[in-house]
């Protein structure tokens, strides 16, 4: 059983949104830092082999600084994501750390190499030979990409744990069905971002004339050629997704579909611009265009991350932890014991709760619903249940996973459910209605009946093999 953690009330800005914002900025920066390493290597090689002498200016002067900025910000927002994940769902990050701590430690050794190699180049490149500089940049790029490699295994595991659910083997978890498509996909994104930012940088180097700029831009755009493979990889990635998640992305959930389309559309626009330009005539991307394309790339990253976060619902780790931090195998037990029985934290987000039952209901809301809903703000329970009468509320919440398949099953006692409904009604009445309604035995029995009908399994259970379910029930973690 996961411990009960205190839940902060961040007001209308749900922690999920904060998480998404930090994650998008981080992913964008970190991917640029990885791509930047590759681009620096390429340009260093062009310069030292005499293929393009102005490339040196780019490597030593401007781009290097950008990579450093993104690299520092990338590292800091990386720790930031870690901290934010704890705020959003401590049990989720806890599971990730627990199951993959040696992978994380391995990633950290690469990260250390990245810091040292990057800093050595940054600080000493003027005093070093071309070969040494290339070696340092090569080590930097290698280490940066490897840190992507390791973290990618953990992140893709969240959505597609695959046969890990049965075997609990590290290899199965790490090389999960989503691993390779998302690794290739992300690598291409890294290179694209670096190429676009490279184009912006070339445009602002004052000492270059137009033909020199064009030459460099063409070279940088080479890093966008792998975008040709994107449709294929995207398809592969979609295929590796669980059926239900895929169906939401492809239309089942309008919001998710929208983000997905933004992502695809923006990538298509960037890709076609670069490839057609490269193919038919010598490409020249001026600063404004490059910036516009970069914004689109940011949009694509944002859309992609939203889809990645959103399509996991009702889980944060598929079949391992629900979004509200409750583990699937604990639901049955929580229905007997109650989900707030050992919640020591008082209700602070409401004042003047009129009765003990309503207070209990507020606690149930906080424990099970608050991670995705507010009472009256975004995705507000009060509005969503606006047209329902009390019995409809009882039934639809008892059968939560059937009401909407991206919600987890209700994980509390019948009494807790009734208290939750009293709480919702109290808020609906503009916090006026003061009566403490007794809960009749008959009501409890009806709720229990609905709870039993819905069962404790999530909606997608048909998608899991029975042995996986058995393994899950058996595992203590």
Partner 1 sequence: MNTTFPFGFQLPLAFYLTIYVLTLVVHVVLMAYVLGGSLWLTWASLFPGKEKTPRTMQPVARLLRDWMPFALSGAITAGVAPLLFVQILYQQQFYTANLLLGWRWMVVIPVLIVVFYLLYVVKSRAIASWALPLRVLLACGVATCFLFVAFCWTANHLLSLDQSQWPTVFQSGNAVTSAITLALRLATWVCGTLPVMSLLGLWQLRGMRSRTAKWDAEEALVGTSPTEWDYRFSQENRRLMILSVAGTLSAFIFATLYYSQLDQKVRHSLTGSAGFVWLMVLVTSAVAVILLSLSRRKKSVQELSTLLGLTCAQLIQLVAAASLREVIRLTQADLTAVTQNAADAFQIGGFAVFLIFAVMNAGLITWCIVLVKQK
* 344 is an interface residue for partner 1 by CB under 8 A: yes
CB environment 177-195: b (16+ within 10 A), e (fewer): bbbbbbbbbbbbbbbbbbb
Element (H, E) at 234: helix 230-240
Smallest distance from ligand HEC to CB 230, Å: 29
Question: Which residue among 123, 282, 404, 449 contacts partner 1 (CB under 8 A)?
Answer: 123
Distance separating alpha carbons of residues 313 and 406, to the nearest angstrom: 5
* 101 is an interface residue for partner 1 by CB under 8 A: yes
Token pair belonging to 241: 């997704």
Q: Which region, judged by CB under 6 A, interacts with ligand HEC, from 4-12, 45-53, 166-174, 394-402? A: 394-402
3-class state of residue 311 by DSSP: coil
* 132 is an interface residue for partner 1 by CB under 8 A: yes
Let me know if 402 is exposed, middle or buried by CB neighbors in 10 A (0-12, 13-18, 19+).
Answer: middle
Smallest distance from ligand HEC to CB 407, Å: 4
Distance separating alpha carbons of residues 305 and 382, to the nearest angstrom: 29
User: How many residues of this chain bind ligand HEC (CB under 6 A)?
Assistant: 22
Which value, in Å, is the radius of gyration of the alpha carbons in the chain?
26
* 8 is an interface residue for partner 1 by CB under 8 A: yes
Distance separating alpha carbons of residues 306 and 301, to the nearest angstrom: 9
* 454 is an interface residue for ligand HEC by CB under 6 A: no
Task: Give 251's DSSP letter.
Answer: I
The entry of partner 1, ligand HEC, none near residue 476 (CB within 5 to 8 angstroms by kind) is partner 1
The entry of partner 1, ligand HEC, none near residue 62 (CB within 5 to 8 angstroms by kind) is none
C-alpha dihedral, 230 to 235 to 240 to 244, nearest 10°: 130
Q: Toward partner 1, which CB reaches closer, 110 or 179?
A: 110
Question: Which residue among 136, 307, 369, 381 contacts partner 1 (CB under 8 A)?
Answer: 136
Question: Which residue among 8, 112, 379, 465 contacts ligand HEC (CB under 6 A)?
Answer: 379
Question: Which residue among 250, 345, 392, 465 contacts partner 1 (CB under 8 A)?
Answer: 345
| Residues numbered 313-342 forming contacts with ligand HEC, rule: CB under 6 A | 313-314, 323-324
Smallest distance from ligand HEC to CB 436, Å: 21
Other CB atoms within a 10 A radius of the CB of residue 102 amount to 9
Distances (CA, A) of 269 to 112, 153, 227, 266, 283: 36, 29, 11, 5, 15
* 167 is an interface residue for partner 1 by CB under 8 A: no
* 369 is an interface residue for ligand HEC by CB under 6 A: yes
- Tokens 């910000």 belong to 73
User: Are the C-beta atoms of residues 196 and 293 closer than 8 Å to each other?
Assistant: yes
Q: Which region, judged by CB under 6 A, interacts with ligand HEC, from 86-94, 150-158, 259-267, 364-372? A: 364-372
Task: List contacts with ligand HEC (CB under 6 A).
Answer: 313-314, 323-324, 368-369, 371-373, 379, 381, 384-385, 396-397, 400, 403-404, 406-408, 410
């Amino acid at each position: 059983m996961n411990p009960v953690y205190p839940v902060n009330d961040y007001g209308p800005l749900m922690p999920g949104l904060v998480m998404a914002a930090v994650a998008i900025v981080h992913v964008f920066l970190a991917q640029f830092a990885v791509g930047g390493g590759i681009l620096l290597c390429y340009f260093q090689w062009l310069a030292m082999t005499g293929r393009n002498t102005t490339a040196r200016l780019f490597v030593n002067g401007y781009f290097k600084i950008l990579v450093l900025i993104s690299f520092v910000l990338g590292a800091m927002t990386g720790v930031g994501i870690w901290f934010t994940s704890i705020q959003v769902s401590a049990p989720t990050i806890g599971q990730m750390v627990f199951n993959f701590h040696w992978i994380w430690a391995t990633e950290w050794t690469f990260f250390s190499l990245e810091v040292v190699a990057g800093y050595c180049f940054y600080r000493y490149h003027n005093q070093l030979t071309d070969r040494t500089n290339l070696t340092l940049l090569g080590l930097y790029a290698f280490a940066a990409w490897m840190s992507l490699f390791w973290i990618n295994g953990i992140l893709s595991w969240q959505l597609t744990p695959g046969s890990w659910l049965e075997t609990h083997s590290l290899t199965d978890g790490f090389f999960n069905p989503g691993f390779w498509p998302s690794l290739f996909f992300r690598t291409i994104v890294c290179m694209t971002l670096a190429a676009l930012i490279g184009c912006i940088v070339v445009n602002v180097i004052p000492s270059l004339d137009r033909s020199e700029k064009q030459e460099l831009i063409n070279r940088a755009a080479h890093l966008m050629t792998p975008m040709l493979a994107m449709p294929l990889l995207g398809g592969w990635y979609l295929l590796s997704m669980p059926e239900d998640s895929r169906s939401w992305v492809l239309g089942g959930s309008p919001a998710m579909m929208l983000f997905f389309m933004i992502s695809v559309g923006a990538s298509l626009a960037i890709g076609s611009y670069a490839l057609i330009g490269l193919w038919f005539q010598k490409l020249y991307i001026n600063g404004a265009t490059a910036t516009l394309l970069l914004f689109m790339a940011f949009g694509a990253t944002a859309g992609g991350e939203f889809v990645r976060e959103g399509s996991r619902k009702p889980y944060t780790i598929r079949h391992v932890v629900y979004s509200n931090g409750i583990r699937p195998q604990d639901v049955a037990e929580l229905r007997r014991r109650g989900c707030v029985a050992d919640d020591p934290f008082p209700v602070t987000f409401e004042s003047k709760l009129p009765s003990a039952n309503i207070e209990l209901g507020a606690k149930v809301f906080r424990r099970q619903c608050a991670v995705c809903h507010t009472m009256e703000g975004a995705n507000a329970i009060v509005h969503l249940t606006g047209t329902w009468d009390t019995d409809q509320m009882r039934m639809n919440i008892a059968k939560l996973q059937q009401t909407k398949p991206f919600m987890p099953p209700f994980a509390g006692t019948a009494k807790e459910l009734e208290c939750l409904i009293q709480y919702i009604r109290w808020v609906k009445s503009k916090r006026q209605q003061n009566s403490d309604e007794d809960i009749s035995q008959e009501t409890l029995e009806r709720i229990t009946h609905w709870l039993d009908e819905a069962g404790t399994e999530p909606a997608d259970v048909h998608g899991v093999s029975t042995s996986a379910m058995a393994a899950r029930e058996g595992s203590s973690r």
